[in-house]
Every structure is written in structure tokens, then in C-alpha cells.
Amino acid sequence: MANIRSKKAVLPLAALSVLALTLSACGGSEGDGGGEEPAANCSAYEEYGTFEGEEVSVYSTITDSEQDLLENSWADFEECTGIEVAYEGSNEFETQVLVRAQAGNPPDVAIFPQPGLLAAQAREGYIKPAPPEVEALVDENWSEDWKSYGTVDGTFYAAPMLASVKGYVWYSPTTFEENGWEVPATWDEMMELSQTIADSGIKPWCAGFESGEATGWPGTDWIEDVVLRQAGPEVYDQWVAHEIPFNDPQITEAWNTVGDILKNEEFVNGGFGDVRSIISTNVDVAGDPVVEGECAMYHQATFQAANWPEGTDISENGDIWAFITPGEEAGSSAITGGGEFVAAYNEGEPITAFLSYMASAEFANNRVEQGGAISANQGLDASLASSDLDRQSIELLQSEETVFRFDASDLMPGAVGANSFWSGIVEWINGTPTEEVVDTIESSWPE
Amino acid sequence: MEDVGEKFLQVVIALAIFAAIIGLIMLLVDRAPKSFRDKATIIGFLAPAGILLTVGMVWPAVQTTFLAFTDRDGNVNGLDNFIWMFTEPTALVTLRNTVLWVILVPTISTIVGLVYAVFIDKAHGERVLKALVFMPMAISMVGAGIIWNFMYAYRGTEQDQIGLVNQILVWFGGEPRQFLLDAPWNTFFLIVVMVWIQVGFAMVVLSAAIKGIPADIVEASRLDGATAWQQFWSVTIPSIRGALIVVVTTITIITLKVFDIVRTMTAGNYDTSVVANEMYTQAFRANEPGRGAALALVLFLMVLPVVLYNARQLKKQKEIR
């Protein structure tokens, strides 16, 4: 710095260089749309039209690496149509989207993981009904069930996006083989296996329900899986629609069945501690002990595939594999699952173009090809799936035999599905008896 | 790039409009007839602030008050929200916790801050000692919550501890504990975090007040043969009374509004919720804006007397001077 004689020169120089950096950074992000390589074949995107310089803001729960994959999957769309998708992902989406809608500052498009929340927003008049083009695409690509999750009081609002199959039990095939354990075919076999593993000195199960203000949600998946398998799809539907109370004996029984695993000190919580460490263990790391052999089984949806440490071989004979939580009888194929729904708060041609693309088979193929995601879109080519597990899940979703039910907590009113059900699970793991917890949740159900 | 240019332009336009309005007011005030000029000056300069306050504070306050007497669908339901607040067990726990916070945080913070200030006064390395205690003030409450979450982190007896507090427990042969899960003690462990932040504030203000005690009073008490204890009670405390009240009331107001620490550390689970956190949960997650508004109203009524007292004390001090 000796060549700068006067100290006075330093400040303006520093300011200038900062400005230059900022400007070049801005310039860089602008450049993306232009693209140096005219690579993308735009013929597939001609039907959406071109909207040079238009911007569509998108808000959702998807963050981190999943966000990058999602953004990649509409990069060509952006390049060919000229629409810039301003994406924002947030862990506080469920509350912030309500705040923003009330404040008159909603995003153009929001991707809802809970049909219940979507319905509440639609009933309050914030969300615009889906344009006819989008509805036509959904009729073509999705089953009636999936369309109905985006429909509120007879009006169709939001197209489904991606899906996840819940209720997988992740395990390590190597550990299983070394110890001579077999993948169970029924719930009873799974309980016997748990006991065998516990007797051998390893905790059979690990779990983690901590997830910031959404703490407790992984527990709701456990309950839902058991309600569907033990009480059946009819009871499941009545439970969701509140035709039977939350503290109905059949529901309480499901809680107790789950409790036989999660509230049993012998069975949990491998790698972390006692039963109560479930609620203080973060959901993203809760499965890690399976890889290290400190825990044998971990119950989580397909999206867990993205949470395993880098380099983990996910295959039938590799480090990690998964089986669907078994039903009471062998071979029953009832599964719960979730998905996202793309809804618009504003109207306009660029928004319609974006919504149409998101409902199309191209988007589903583009996204699934990159791995870590599946979709129930009928136009999806299962062979594109990046892993055997994804392929298996897509086939399950597309199969006629499968009894599919949407994640119950996401269908229930927000006051239950995103509040008292979560906090109820937390209280329950922390030691409150089942009856007390289900009574409290029932009393919180809005009339 | 266009965005940046656009934003700059907006700022420039906004500043120009602001200058124009102020200029216009000054011009009008100056042109007012002589008999009316004093009043015109007062009205002219208070009106902009007054209007903004009405739009930004008074009107929302009125709306919130009205909202507190309505149900989920916006129908008036009388006192139902308040009945819920004072009868529902979980809501009662929330009120109890807030009372605990308000009693403990100001008292402990002020006492610890005062004792620390007295002991390090004129000590060797006073500045460093002060900086050490004051530093937590510079951390946001969310940041402090995350830091302390790690401090309290739990792993089972067979695993390696990752939290400092549990590691210390294990070193001394104890069992690791789930600090944030056991009511009612978890509330106290959350209170520790707030005290950790506020002690620095109390210490800095009180230390300055101690330094402001006239040297002749201290000297006179010494000549009269007062012990250190007598000096503390009869000279120091009365002389810094004003500063003490400011510290206690300021910390009380901050504590009543506590939200960030509870939200980041337990999200209000395990019976640790406080009024401000429950207000947010009810209004935005449980979709019960009426209940949220009722909690906000109660919180306002709790803060109000402290603020009034604080203001009156400040006024009194001015009169003495």
C-alpha cells in the first residue's frame, strides 16, 4: 500500500472498488438469462409464449440443495420464455405466507405443501382460481384424487407439483445381513425384529422430531401410517374430515401402537439418548446413526434420500435401503404421501405460462431426472428416475393397486394439522399420556 | 442494474418530496398572521408526526382492540377470548411464565449488574472487564437463543456430549440432563439467557451513575467513618436511585415483550410459552386472530404502567435539575 501516498485516497478507492464489485455482481446475475450457449432446445417451450423482461415471484418451503434442483428444472423455461422466476424459499413459509397475504404483499405464486392451508387461503379469497389452461393440463396428467386436493368447495385452484411417499423405513442392508435380520413383511414381524435387535444390544429405532417451529411433524407421519394400516382408509378419511373425533378409540389405538415403539426405552433412540431425546434431535440428522450402525431403522419419507451423508450408496445391497412400513397383513399396499401445490395470488399471462409449465409432464420429467424427487404426474417417465428407490416410489404412485392417502395433518385445518397435532406429539413424547393428548387435540379442532 | 438505478431514483424522489413538504410548511407558518403565528408554528410542525402516529400506531391499536372481541370469522364474541385466556390451562401457563420472567429478569440482571459495577469500579483493567460483560448485548436475541441451544444440547449417557453445560455435568460425574424439556425448570434456563444479555446493559448504566456521584459526598462519608457496607447503602444507592429505576423499568419492558429467545429455543413447547410468543402462534399459526389480539391487548396493559412510571420518573429528575 506504500504507493498510495495520501491516506485520503484510500477511502474513495475502497468505496469505488466496492461499488465496482457490486455492479459486476449484479451484471452477472442478469447475464444468466441471456445464456452464452444457445443450447436449450426451445421448441418444447414455444407453446408458453415469450415474455421478455417479465418477472414471476415464487415463494415456498423448499430450501438449500432441493432449491437448487428446483431452480434448475425451470432454467430452460426461463431462457426460452424470457420470464425471470424470482424464487424465495423459507422455513417459515407456513406463517409468513399468511402474514404477507394479509399485508397485501403476497408472492405471485406460492407452492403449498399443505392442502389444508391452501384451502384456508382460498376460502379467505386470497388465491385466484386456476386458469382454464392449467385445469386442462391437470385433468390430462393427474388422477382425480390429486386434482381434488387442489380443489376447494368445487373450484379448482392449484395444480399438484411433486410428491413424496411417506412411511418408508430406512435401514442398512449390510448391518441387516451381518446380523442375519430379515426385512419384516408384517407389523408384528417388525415388532419381533425390533425386540431381537434390542436384545442384541443395538437400539432398533432412531427418530428426531425437532424442526424449529414445526417441531413434531415427523411424529404425525408415524400416526398417519398406523391409522391407515390398522384402521383402514375409510376411518382415515373420516378422521381427516372430522366425521369421527380425534380422540376416537381407533385413533387412540394407533397412537398407542406407535407408542409401543417410540415410547419404549428399549427401542429408542439409537445414537442420541433416551425417549425424550427424540424431540430435541433435529430431523435432518436423526437418521445418521443408521449409517454408523448405532441404530437399525429410521422411519421417514422418500425425501430422506437427500439427508444421508454425501457418498452414501442408496441401493438394495448398498449402505442404505428402505422398505415400506408393513401393514397388518403381508402384501398390503396402503401408503401415505405428501405433495406440493402451485397456487397463484396474482393474475397475468406470464403467471399463467409459469403455472402451465409447472403442471406439465416436461416439468415433472425435468425435475425427477435430477434426482431426489418424484411426482404423481401420469406423464412422468419412471425410467428417468435417478435411483431405484425413486423408480419404485413412482411405480407405487402410478399403480392401480395402491391405496394412496394424502398426509392427514396437511389436510386438517391449520389449527390442528400445523399446530395442536405437532405440539400434541411433542407433549406425548415428553411424557403426557395418550388420552390426555388426543383430548387436547380434539378440543382444538375449529367447529 | 436497472433495479439499483430505480431504487436510487425512488430515494431521490422521496427525499425531494419530503424537502418540499417541510419547505411548504415552513413557508405557510412564516406567512401566518402575527396573532396566530405561535399556534401555527406548533401545529405546523407537530401535524406531520401526529398524522403518522395516528396512521401507524393509534389506528392499528384501535383495530387490535376491536379484534380482541371477535372470533375466528370476525364475529363479535364478547369476552370469550379473555375467558379463554384466563381459564384454558395452556393459556394460564403462558401468563404464569410471563409473570416469572418479569419478576426474575429485571431483579437478577440489575442486582448482578450493580454488584459487578461496584466491584470493578476503579479496578485494574476495568475496561476489559466491562467489555466482557457488555458483549452479549451486541448479540441479537435469536443469535443468543441459538448459542444457548448448543450450550444446553443433550446426548444420552452412552454418547459423547456436544453441549457445554452437559459436558461439565458429566465431568463432575453427573448425568446429562434435558434442560429445555422439564417444566417448570426449563423456563428458568431460558431466563438465564435473557439475564446473560441484560446484565451488560445494567452494569454499564449503573457504572456510569456510580462514577457520577460527587467526590465530596463520598469523601465526607469516609471522614465520618462509614464502613464500605454503610457507604454502599447510604451513599451509593440513594445517589444512583434515578439510574436504578431507569434500568429496572427498561429491562422490565424488554422482558414483557420477550419473543425471540422462546421462539428459537423451544418454540413455546414444553410449557415455556410467554404472552408475546403465544400471541404470534394464536394469530398466525392457529388462525385465531381474536385470541392473538386479546393477548396483545393484555400485554399492552401490562407494559403501560411501567412505561408511564418510567416517563414520570424522567420528568421528576428533570424538575430537580
Residue type, position A98, single letter: L
In chain A, what percentage of residues exceed pLDDT 70? Answer: 91
| Position A26 pLDDT exceeds 60 | no
Q: What is the pLDDT of residue A386?
A: 79
**Do B230 and B140 belong together in one domain?**
yes
CA of B182 vs chain A CAs: smallest distance (Å):
8
Instruction: Determine which of B87, B181, B266 to mutate to test the interface with A (most A C-beta atoms within 10 Å).
Output: B181
Query: Exposed, middle or buried, A294 (CB in 10 Å: 0-12/13-18/19+)?
Result: middle
Q: How far apart are CA B64 and CA A44, in angstroms?
A: 52
Q: How confident is the model at residue B312 (pLDDT cuts 50, 70, 90)?
A: confident
Mean pLDDT along residues A224-249: 93
CA of A211 vs chain B CAs: smallest distance (Å):
10
**Do B170 and B283 belong together in one domain?**
yes
Q: How far apart are CA B213 and CA B238, in angstroms?
A: 10
Element (H, E) at B170: helix B164-171
Q: What is the pLDDT of residue A290?
A: 92
- Please spell the DSSP secondary structure of A229-279, one letter per residue: III-HHHHHHHHTTSS-TT-HHHHHHHHHHHHHHT-TTT--TTT-STTHHH
**Do B153 and B44 belong together in one domain?**
no
Mean pLDDT along residues B185-200: 94
**Do B150 and B276 belong together in one domain?**
yes
Among all chains, which residue has been given the C-alpha cell 401490562? B302
Alpha helices in A89-131 (DSSP H): 93-102, 115-123
Q: Are A4 and A10 in contact (CB under 8 A)?
A: yes
β-partners of residue B15 are none
Q: Nearest chain B Cα to A428, which residue?
A: B270
Q: What is the DSSP letter of A386?
A: S
Which residues in chain A are classed under CATH 3.40.190.10?
55-165+337-399, 168-335+408-443
Mean pLDDT along residues A192-220: 91
CB neighbour burial string for B244-263, b if at least 16 within 10 angstroms, e if fewer: bbbbbbbbbbbbbebbbbbb
Q: What is the pLDDT of residue A22?
A: 41
Q: At what angle do helices B89-120 and B185-211 cross, to 10 degrees?
A: 30
Q: Are A172 and A319 in contact (CB under 8 A)?
A: yes
Over residues A350-377, the pLDDT tens digits come to: 999 999 999 999 999 999 988 878 898 9
CA end-to-end span of chain B: 55
Instruction: Determine which of B63, B149, B269, B288 to mutate to test the interface with A (most A C-beta atoms within 10 Å).
Output: B269
Q: Are A337 and A404 in contact (CB under 8 A)?
A: yes
Helix (H/G/I), strand (E/B), else coil: A127: coil
Strands A109-112 and A55-60: parallel
Q: What is the pLDDT of residue A316?
A: 86
| Identity of the residue in B154, B176, B270 whose CB atom sits nearest the CB atom of A430 | B270
Q: Are A411 and A245 in contact (CB under 8 A)?
A: no
Q: Nearest chain A Cα to B267, which residue?
A: A213
**Do B141 and B256 belong together in one domain?**
yes
Q: Establish, for the pair of chains A and B, how many residue pairs have beta carbons separated by less than 8 Å.
A: 72
Over residues B92-101, the pLDDT tens digits come to: 999 999 999 9
Tell me which of A23 and B283 has the higher pLDDT: B283
- Domain-located, residue B106: yes
Q: What is the pLDDT of residue A19?
A: 42
**Do B166 and B193 belong together in one domain?**
yes
Q: How far apart are CA A329 and CA A86, in angstroms?
A: 48
Element (H, E) at A159: strand A159-165
Q: What is the pLDDT of residue A1?
A: 39
Over residues B32-62, the pLDDT tens digits come to: 787 777 888 888 888 888 999 999 999 999 9
Strands A55-60 and A84-89: parallel
Q: What is the pLDDT of residue A39?
A: 55
| Position A5 pLDDT exceeds 60 | no
Q: What is the pLDDT of residue A134?
A: 94
CA of B8 vs chain A CAs: smallest distance (Å):
14
Mean pLDDT of chain B: 88
Q: Nearest chain B Cα to A27, which residue?
A: B1
Q: How confident is the model at residue A27 (pLDDT cuts 50, 70, 90)?
A: very low
Can you give B45-56 as a three-state secondary structure string? HHHHHHHHHHHH
- Domain-located, residue B270: yes
Over residues B136-183, the pLDDT tens digits come to: 998 999 999 999 999 998 888 888 888 899 999 999 988 888 898 887
CA of A301 vs chain B CAs: smallest distance (Å):
24
Which chain B residues are within 8 Å of A86, Cβ to Cβ? Answer: none
Which chain A residues are within 8 Å of B178, Cβ to Cβ? Answer: 276-277, 280
Query: Exposed, middle or buried, A260 (CB in 10 Å: 0-12/13-18/19+)?
Result: exposed
What are the φ/ψ torsions at residue B215 (nearest 5 degrees)?
-65, -30
Over residues A94-151, the pLDDT tens digits come to: 888 988 998 889 999 999 988 888 988 998 899 999 999 999 999 999 888 889 899 9
Residue type, position A246, single letter: F
Q: How far apart are CA B243 and CA B210, in angstroms?
A: 9
Q: What is the pLDDT of residue A2?
A: 40
Classify domain A55-165+337-399 by CATH architecture. 3-Layer(aba) Sandwich (3.40)
- Domain-located, residue B75: no
Over residues A152-193, the pLDDT tens digits come to: 999 999 999 999 898 899 999 999 999 999 999 999 999 999
Q: Which of A324, A383, A328, A296 is nearest to A164 (CA)?
A: A324
| CB-based contact A414 B153, cutoff 8 Å | no
- Domain-located, residue B77: no
Which chain A residues are within 8 Å of B263, Cβ to Cβ? Answer: 213
List the grid coordinates of A441: 387435540
| Position A59 pLDDT exceeds 90 | yes
Alpha-carbon distances of B4 from A23, A105, B8, B244, B268, rounded to whole Å: 9, 21, 6, 48, 40
Q: How confident is the model at residue B321 (pLDDT cuts 50, 70, 90)?
A: low
Residue type, position B163, single letter: G
Q: What is the pLDDT of residue B320?
A: 63
Rg of chain B over CA atoms, in angstroms?
26
CB atoms within 10 A of CB A212: 12
Q: How confident is the model at residue A229 (pLDDT cuts 50, 70, 90)?
A: very high
**Do B164 and B209 belong together in one domain?**
yes
Q: How far apart are CA A247 and CA A373, in angstroms?
A: 35
Q: What is the DSSP letter of B122?
A: T
Q: What is the pLDDT of residue B96?
A: 92
- Please spell the DSSP secondary structure of A394-415, one letter per residue: HHHHH-SS-EEEE-HHHHS-HH
Q: How far apart are CA B272 and CA B194, in angstroms?
A: 14
Q: Is the peptide bond before A309 cis (omega within 30 degrees of 0)?
A: no
Over residues A420-430, the pLDDT tens digits come to: 899 999 999 99
Among A86-90, B119-123, B209-213, name the one with the lowest average pLDDT: B119-123
Q: What CATH number labels A168-335+408-443? A: 3.40.190.10
Mention every residue, 6+ apart, whose C-beta is less than 8 A from residue B300: B61
The CATH number of the domain holding residue B97 is 1.10.3720.10
Which chain A residues are within 8 Å of B286, Cβ to Cβ? Answer: 414-415, 419-420, 444
Query: Exposed, middle or buried, A147 (CB in 10 Å: 0-12/13-18/19+)?
Result: middle
- Domain-located, residue B51: yes
Q: How far apart are CA A146 and CA A341, in angstroms?
A: 10
Q: How far apart are CA B94 and CA B90, in angstroms?
A: 6
Q: What is the pLDDT of residue A98?
A: 87
Alpha-carbon distances of A447 from A125, A241, A413, rounded to whole Å: 20, 12, 10
Over residues A144-154, the pLDDT tens digits come to: 888 989 999 99
Domain of B89, in residue numbers: 82-320
- Please spell the DSSP secondary structure of A72-87, one letter per residue: HTTHHHHHHH--EEEE
**Do B270 and B193 belong together in one domain?**
yes
Rg of chain A over CA atoms, in angstroms?
24
Q: What is the pLDDT of residue A108?
A: 95
CA of B252 vs chain A CAs: smallest distance (Å):
26
Among A157-161, A242-246, B77-81, name the one with the lowest average pLDDT: B77-81
Q: How far apart are CA A347 and CA A350, in angstroms?
A: 8
Q: Which chain B residues have any C-beta within 8 angstroms of a chain A C-beta?
A: 1, 3-4, 72, 153-159, 176, 178, 180-181, 263, 267, 269-270, 280-281, 284-288
Q: Are B283 and B289 in contact (CB under 8 A)?
A: yes
Q: How confident is the model at residue A194 (pLDDT cuts 50, 70, 90)?
A: very high
**Do B265 and B237 belong together in one domain?**
yes
List the grid coordinates of A227: 391409522
**Do B19 and B165 belong together in one domain?**
no
Over residues B251-282, the pLDDT tens digits come to: 999 999 899 999 989 888 888 999 999 999 88
| Identity of the residue in A22, A272, A415 whose CB atom sits nearest the CB atom of B159 | A272
- Domain-located, residue B76: no
Among all chains, which residue has been given the C-alpha cell 372430522? A242
| Position B112 pLDDT exceeds 90 | yes
Element (H, E) at A56: strand A55-60
Q: What is the pTM of this model?
A: 0.78
Mean pLDDT along residues B179-205: 92
- Domain-located, residue B126: yes
What are the φ/ψ torsions at residue A203 (nearest 5 degrees)?
-70, 125
A2-6, A258-262, A389-393, B68-72: range with highest mean pLDDT: A258-262
Number of domains in chain B: 2
Residue type, position A173, single letter: P
Q: How far apart are CA A257 and CA A251, in angstroms?
A: 10
| Position A35 pLDDT exceeds 90 | no
Tell me which of A171 and A6 has the higher pLDDT: A171
Over residues A74-88, the pLDDT tens digits come to: 999 999 999 999 999
Q: What is the pLDDT of residue A402?
A: 84
